[in-house]
Amino acid sequence: MRICIPSETTGGLKDQVGYHFGRVVNYTIYDDKSNKVEVIENTSSHRGGTKLPAELLREYDVDIMICGGIGKRAIQLFEQYGVEIYIGAQGIVKDAIEQFKQNKLQMATDIDACQQHKYRNKDHEHHHDHQH
């Protein structure tokens, strides 16, 4: 299984999990069968390229995406490519992988749009009204 984590700066197991998924500098890909780590540059449209992040990562056979939060449109694109997304990751990349292995992260498709907004903007106040 190939697990991808957005990385704040240099990538790798000791880098911080990036909170702005599409705008991070690098993505760290961890292969749990071989224990190999690969760092790829984010050349998506968010950083001047032509592909969306999901399209870019599809080329690297990613099975799982672990992140702090992610938007609904990105979730839909990853789902089209058969990639499962888990949100709520914190700390360094290595910690995020452990959080995933210990079932401490939530599958993105299991939560509603309001909760996704909250995860995506965890460092910001939650300011919209709820109509139920």
Interval 19-62: pLDDT, tens: 888 889 999 999 999 999 999 999 988 888 889 999 999 999 99
Distance (Å, whole) CA 128 – CA 68: 20
Q: Which CATH architecture has domain 2-120?
A: 2-Layer Sandwich (3.30)
| Average of per-residue pLDDT values in the chain | 85
Global pTM value: 0.81
CA atoms within 13 A on the CB side of 6: 26
Predicted local distance difference test score (pLDDT) of residue 21: 85
Query: What is the mean pLDDT of the segment spanning 60-67?
Result: 95
